[in-house]
Chains A and B, each alone.
Chain A
Amino acid sequence: MKNFQKLPIYLFAALTFGFASCESEDPVPENEGELITDVTLIFQEIDAGGNPVGTPFTASAVDPEGIEIGSSPTIEPITLAKGKSYKMTINAFNNIENEDITAEIFEEADEHQFFFLGTAFSSNILGIEYDDPGSIILGIRTILNVSASPTSNNGQMQVVLRHDLDKSFPGATNPNFANFVQAGGETDLDITFPVVIND
């Protein structure tokens, strides 16, 4: 019983300890590890034998702030020539952390896939097939065939990157698979590039 007379002292000690251990930490800047700020499409014209012709050119979409509110992304148009074929390579980059995201996507090829939609494909302007190394279906590398007589010389190409999807879902081997949502997963990239076809 006598011990209880010291109770206030114990209480005070416990309280002091409790309160002292209870300051919030100083905040630290967080590395936005997963962010994609730059998406670059690299086009290399190829001949019928698949050999490169001329120098490659690019079209890129840039959003320096990532997902922060403020600016909208800047998207460059894609300019292609009638009746030609191109090898298209997609490069995704995190400019804030200076990190190559393409390599990460490639490493997790079993969980990722690009789909290509929009009027450029639906109105017979462009055709596309997967051409990834090792015949995996991913879409980092594709072959684009421009129609010799396109219905229009303007169109749109929507590039969608899906993550955590069921890649064996019926129809998902088609790069133009419009119902990609049915294969599950979520969208990591969704960019619509204007397409211009020159003679």
Chain B
Amino acid sequence: MLHKASLCLFSFFVLLGSQLAAAQSCNLVLRGKILHLENDDAIEAAYVWILETRTGAVSDQNGNFVIRELCPGTYTVTVQYLGHKEIRQTVNLTGNSTAQTFRMEEESLDLGGVEVHGHREPVQTTTAVTSLYGDAILQTRGSSLGESLKQVAGVTSFSTGNTISKPVIHGMHSNRIMILNNGIRLEGQQWGAEHAPEIDPFLADEITVIKGAETVRFGPEAMGGVILVNPPALPTSKNSTTEFHLIGATNSYMGNVSASHMGGSDKIKGLGYRVQGSAKRAGNVKSPNYYQANTGMSEYNFSGSVGYSSKKLGVETYYSFFNTEIGILRDSHTGNLSDLIDIINNGEPFLKPDFTYEINNPKQDVTHHLAKLKSHYHFNPNWKLNFQYGFQFNNRQEYDKRRGELNAKPSLDLDLYTNTVDLFLDHNLKANWTGSFGLNVIQQANSNVPGTGVTPLIPNYDMFNGGIYALEKYLKGPLELEGGLRFDYRTVSAARYVGEDLQTADLDYQSFSAFVGGLYQLSPYFAFTSNLGTAWRPPNVNELFSQGLHHGAAAVEIGDPNLVPEKSLKWVNGLEFEHNKAIVEITAYANQINNYIYLNPTGETFTSLRGTFNVYEYLQADAFFYGFDLSGSYNFTNRASGYLKGSIIRAKNTDEDNYFPFIPSDRMDWGVSFSLGKKENLDSDRITLSNVLVARQKREPDFDLAPAPPGYALFNFGYQKKLELGKNNFNIGVQVTNILNTEYKEYMNRFRYFTADMGRNILLKLNYQF
């Protein structure tokens, strides 16, 4: 498969090359980035204009712009952005296409509070990146983070029922990817398959997925990729924005409200604030033919931020609070193996109650606090020092159905404190060299809250991780090159009682990681990126020390304190094509992981008075992952367009020559859209009809409790209307998912053993911005 694909890509390049040779000379490209001089943050919607050709472009969210079809010659380029000094520069285009970074200086004159400039950190990487923002993110409102990210080709979800969903990037999830909440790596108990990320998707106005190994930039564990959840930039002048969301759904009778408000100070220039909150309540999820017992959930979130920025100094404080209570499908908690086999053979739950909002045991109750202080200082236009401190407290309580007073007590009650410190120095030298040197520290303390009446699944532990790194990027003509190196050291000190025995362990790990990457503008319409990165991940505490019964799975899981770190090498290649009507993005990757840690069924069973259980142990083997993501869109007319997204992943245990469990099967999502709006505003009314096709996972592990479910096809419908009421925006969205109420099971849903997935759901989404 891989060979075929590389052959494919190869012939593609040959074709391209011959085209290039034959092409006329007027196919040069001027591409580049527009940044704030004071802090290197991207400027969106800056205007780049070439006087001689009378052509121009507007910079995107990341500050990038492209002007195509230029003949060789000397041009005068102007860059304009409100509240900033105009840049006028002569650019000499020769045989090569050219990349140029423009840094705009803020004008000191008072513009009466009109300008709101972006403080978004551009993701400066040559690896495959996809962002959700604007309309795309509006459509995902009401979904959890894991579900929202399914919009991105190559990202799927690993879920436990329909309320717990974890993002999967190129087949990796949990401790093999990293999620950043406004720049701070989210530290909950993310090792657990049923532990969803503790983050409110409403706080984000942009979610970015980096699909490469980004250990150097972000630290160990960013092996499969990184997800950046970013709130909007704080205003720096008096200009307030308020936004409301109101969402209702017919399935599970879900209601979701969110409000946010941001503004700036009139008196102190550069002082801005933002507050945001959301609440969500849902009852039993309905599969096409029955309600899933005890699958309600509630969620309350809040976040707030205050920031100040001046020419040299920027300071930002941020706090977010997340709380959720999630009911777990009653029948998924089985007493022993024969219970489990009985329900799997039944194919659906035994209990089929009526609808209720009530949440009983088994359930989860999770609270997450995150506070952050961030500051930067410009020594001069070329050097900038950044400091960021994050504090997180995560409490996770899991309740099982138990006897007597114990039923009111959690069976798992964990307090996790995390401190993170990032200190880094950014530089840009001439126009060509940019880079960063930094260090970061993570310190973590995990404690079991006594009184659960259960021997803890994982011990109490203290973890310390220190890392130093350097990154450098070189930009010249159509070429962008980057590389980086990092060293990490980690210690883990764990202790717990099993019965009356005190067990302790002190472990330490260290490793280098490195990456090189490049971007090359092949032709006016083609850009090629390639990134090769090593990554490592020390074994997680659950993999080292788990010992005990995993309720839902009727399994006894045994950790191994002698596990060694995983080490990986990931190569990601991307090809982007953009022409008038078409956009195509292809990503191909290969990831070799040595000492990949996985939970292996031993084939043995364990008998107790409670019955029989399967025994699983943590093992290590070499793994090879590879795959492709494809996404593209085409405008047939100015009213009709189509899109297609798909992904293929292959993952193999190369030691045992068999397959790993829970690797996403091949899937594709395609659809057509029609704009119904008036000529001057076509997209004000838009309908979309889409179809999701998911194949059966034919590459199953040697042992699974049930065979992979058959493939399925779902049809979805969407309608979006935008109304402008004066300066205010009112968006109305109607979405119907699973129109035909198809009964299906998703391989990546752990509850496929017990129940069919969610049936038809009709959502009404109202959004008001003023």
Contacts and interface: CB of A to CB of B under 8 A. Distances in A.
A187 interface: yes
A26 B494 CA distance: 10
Interface in B395-419: 401-404, 406, 415, 417-419
Given A67-B549, A69-B615, A186-B333, A101 B502 contact: no
Interface in B227-256: none
A11 interface: yes
Given A33-B406, A34-B402, A186-B339, A39 B609 contact: yes
Contacts of B556: 67, 69
Interface string A23-36: 11111111111101
B75 to A, nearest CB: 42
Interface string B441-473: 001111110111111100111100000000000
Classify the secondary structure of B's interface with A: strand
Contacts of A101: 403
B734 interface: no
Interface string A15-57: 1001101111111111111101101000000000000000000
A106 B447 CA distance: 35
B610 A187 contact: yes
B446 A24 contact: yes
B510 interface: no
Contacts of B67: none
Interface stretch (A78-86, A128-136, A177-185): A177-185
B558 A30 contact: no
A104 B404 CA distance: 6
A14 interface: yes
Contact of B448 (A4, A27, A184, A189): A27
Contacts of B462: 23-24
B404 A32 contact: no
Nearest to A62: B609
Contacts of A73: 607-609
A76 interface: no
Contacts of B56: none
A181 B455 contact: no
A165 B402 CA distance: 13
Contacts of B461: 24
Contact of B335 (A23, A39, A187): A187
B608 A30 contact: no
Contact of A186 (B334, B404, B406, B606): B334
Contact of A28 (B387, B421, B497, B610): B497
Nearest to A30: B455
Contacts of B11: none
A110 interface: no
B265 to A, nearest CB: 14
A29 B406 contact: no
**Centre residue among A4, A101, A108, A187 by max chain B CB count within 10 A:** A187
A151 B293 CA distance: 43
A163 B401 contact: yes
Contact of A7 (B331, B375, B406, B495): B375
B499 interface: yes
B336 A187 contact: yes
Contacts of B451: 30
B495 A26 contact: yes
B460 A26 contact: yes
B403 A104 contact: yes
A31 B612 CA distance: 23
B500 A186 contact: no
A128 B335 CA distance: 24
Given A18-B391, A108-B404, 18 more contacts: A18-B389, A22-B419, A23-B445, A27-B460, A29-B499, A30-B450, A30-B452, A30-B456, A34-B402, A66-B609, A67-B556, A67-B608, A101-B403, A104-B404, A163-B401, A188-B335, A189-B609, A190-B612
B315 A67 contact: no
A63 B607 CA distance: 10
A28 to B, nearest CB: 5
A61 interface: yes
Interface in A104-120: 104-105, 107-108
Interface residues of A, number: 52
A181 B607 contact: no
A63 B450 contact: no
Contacts of A162: 335
A189 B454 CA distance: 17
B389 A188 contact: no
Interface string A147-174: 0000000000000001110100000000
| Residue picked from A27, A101, A164, A190, most chain B C-beta under 10 Å | A27
Closest 8 CB pairs of A and B: A187-B335, A33-B453, A190-B611, A186-B335, A25-B447, A24-B445, A184-B351, A29-B497
Contacts of A188: 335, 403, 610
B313 interface: yes
Interface of B: 293, 313, 315, 330-331, 333-336, 338-339, 342-343, 346, 350-351, 373, 375, 387, 389, 391, 401-404, 406, 415, 417-419, 421, 443-448, 450-456, 459-462, 495-500, 502, 547-549, 556, 558, 606-612, 615
A15 B421 contact: yes
B502 A27 contact: yes
A72 interface: yes
A166 B609 CA distance: 23
29 contacts: A4-B313, A19-B443, A22-B443, A24-B447, A25-B448, A27-B495, A27-B497, A28-B450, A29-B497, A30-B454, A32-B453, A32-B454, A32-B455, A34-B402, A34-B454, A67-B556, A68-B499, A72-B608, A104-B403, A105-B403, A162-B335, A163-B335, A183-B350, A184-B331, A187-B339, A188-B403, A189-B610, A190-B609, A191-B609
A185 B497 CA distance: 31
Contacts of B445: 22-24
A34 B556 CA distance: 17
Nearest to B463: A24
Contacts of A29: 497, 499-500
Contacts of A63: 608-609
A195 B624 CA distance: 53
Contacts of A15: 389, 419, 421
Nearest to A160: B611
Contact of A11 (B373, B499, B612): B373
B404 A184 contact: no
A174 B459 CA distance: 44
A107 B435 CA distance: 68
Nearest to B500: A29
A51 to B, nearest CB: 33
Nearest to B502: A27
B497 A30 contact: yes
A72 B613 CA distance: 12
Contacts of B417: 21-22
B496 A34 contact: no
B548 A67 contact: yes
Nearest to A187: B335
A62 to B, nearest CB: 8
B450 A67 contact: no
A14 B403 CA distance: 44
A27 B610 CA distance: 27
Given A11-B387, A18-B391, A30-B497, A184 B558 contact: no
Q: Which of A26, A37, A67 has the most CB of B within 10 A?
A: A67
A189 B615 CA distance: 19
B389 A187 contact: no
A66 B336 CA distance: 14
A187 B460 contact: no
Nearest to B497: A29
A96 B401 CA distance: 21
B549 to A, nearest CB: 5
A192 to B, nearest CB: 10
Contacts of A181: 339, 342-343, 346, 350
Contact of B350 (A11, A107, A184): A184
A198 to B, nearest CB: 27
B389 A11 contact: yes
